[in-house]
Amino acid sequence: MDAIVLLKDDHKTVEKLFKEFEKAGDGAHKKKRDIVDKIIEELTTHAYIEEEIFYPAAREGAPDTVDHILESVEEHHVVVWMLSELRGMDPEDERFVPKVTVLMENVRHHVEEEEEEWFPKVREAMGRNRLQELGERMEKAKAKAPADPLAVSSAGK
Ligand SMILES: [Fe+2]
Ligand SMILES: [Fe+2]
């Protein structure tokens, strides 16, 4: 599996969960809590494999993208702290839905930058074989991803 295809598939999975969240009715607290649990799991795993494998490899193989990568890490930082706050939060808390809304805004912006602004440069610089090899490593690394969003390195803990 090509590394960038794998990452884009993850982005699609998360976007589907976001849409489900947006469609859930006002009173659907339990449903929203369940969706957010899945979002936390997906995004933590995704941030982990990007930070452990893809970002360092891109930095080495496509050095021109370094500014994008460093900005992406700071965006992850905000996201993983938000995920950690959402982790134990009562879905009826008045801050729950607004926090998820801001999380979704942040992630959508982040994904757009990855897909439009710098992943294409990485593809061009690194080529198919290297991306294939990275994709395989990331696929395997998913099993080692932490459950705690703050265990991802961008959290800075
Ligand atoms: Fe990312
Ligand atoms: Fe991503």
What distance in Å separates the CA atoms of residue 63 and residue 78, rounded to the nearest whole number?
24
The percent of residues in the chain predicted with pLDDT above 70, rounded, is: 100
Nearest ligand (C-alpha, residue 42): 2
For residue 152, which phi and psi values (nearest 5 degrees)? -75, 140
What distance in Å separates the CA atoms of residue 135 and residue 40, rounded to the nearest whole number?
22
- CA 94, distance to chain mean position in Å, is 25
Q: Which two tokens stand for residue 22?
A: 């947006």
Task: Using the mean position of ligand 2's atoms as its centre, give its distance from the Cα of residue 27 in Å.
Answer: 31
Task: Using the mean position of ligand 1's atoms as its centre, give its distance from the Cα of residue 27 in Å.
Answer: 32
Number of domains present in the structure of the chain: 1
In this prediction, residue 153 has a pLDDT band, given cuts at 50, 70 and 90, of very high
Q: Tell me the pLDDT tens digit for each residue of 36-59.
A: 999 999 999 999 999 999 999 999
Output the CA torsion sign for 50, 54, 56, 62: negative
In this prediction, residue 19 has a pLDDT band, given cuts at 50, 70 and 90, of very high
The total of other beta-carbon atoms located within 10 Å of residue 69's CB is: 20
Residue 146 near residue 152, CB atoms below 8 Å: yes
Task: Determine the pLDDT at residue 145.
Answer: 98
The pTM assigned to this predicted structure is 0.97
Question: Quick one: which H or E segment has residue 20?
Answer: helix 3-23
Q: Which two tokens stand for residue 105?
A: 């805004």
Q: How many residues does the chain have?
A: 157
From the list 61, 25, 48, the residue with the least C-alpha distance to 152 is 48
What distance in Å separates the CA atoms of residue 70 and residue 72, rounded to the nearest whole number?
5
Range of the domain at 96: 3-156
Task: Using the mean position of ligand 2's atoms as its centre, give its distance from the Cα of residue 95 in Å.
Answer: 26
